[in-house]
Amino acid sequence: MNDLFASLRVCLATMLVCVVGYTAVVLGFAAVCAPDTASGSLLRAKDGTVVGSRLLAQAFTRPEYFWPRPSACDWNGAAAGGSNLSPCNPALAERAQQAIARFGASAANPLPADLATASGSGLDPHISAAAARFQVARVAAARNLPAAEVQAVVDRLAVAPGPFPTGERLVNVLELNLALERR
């Protein structure tokens, strides 16, 4: 019985400190040091409406936009998820076939692997620089721009994910499309 009371007291104490106190401190720290990212790294249009989060991919289907990686959750920001399919599952081959057709890949010009695969969250905001390069011609044609100009935007926004210079560079699709829009 003594143990039961002690348990209740310790539960209450830990709850107050670790839930109320701890959360409050971290919230306060976030509000002071990183108010922007703490509320979701939201990107706004000139009128102030939210167009998305810099961290989350969103659907792009029109030819004038760069397209993100396939999403198993249809870019749903409120119910994210991956395909959870075995990498041997024929369903993946089917999806890849569709992507190959959509992006117009061929044996001579194979599709970058990130465009054939869904990310774990379904919200991966990036594509590889190779995947962007793969789409430059289409985007340039749809926008009536020289390919070199589009490629220049891509190159400007492409960054290596980590400190290792050997790694392939990545481009944030939403930021890339926004940059093209704002030109």
User: Is 139 among the residues that bind other proteins (CB under 8 A)?
Assistant: no
Task: Give the integer Cα–Cα distance in Å for 100 and 176.
Answer: 22
Q: How far is CA 148 from CA 14, 65, 73, 132, 134, in A?
A: 60, 16, 34, 13, 13
Q: How far is CA 101 from CA 12, 75, 95, 111, 134, in A?
A: 59, 21, 10, 10, 13
**Segment contacting other proteins by CB under 8 A, of 29-37, 135-143, 146-154:** 29-37
Residue ranges in 81-110 that form contacts with other proteins under rule CB under 8 A: 81-93, 96-97, 100, 105-107, 109-110
3-state secondary structure of 120: coil
Question: How many chain residues touch other proteins (CB under 8 A)?
Answer: 102
Determine which residue in the list 146, 148, 156, 167 makes contact with other proteins, applying CB under 8 A: 167
Residue ranges in 36-65 that form contacts with other proteins under rule CB under 8 A: 37-42, 45, 49-53, 55-56, 58-62, 65
User: Is 132 among the residues that bind other proteins (CB under 8 A)?
Assistant: no
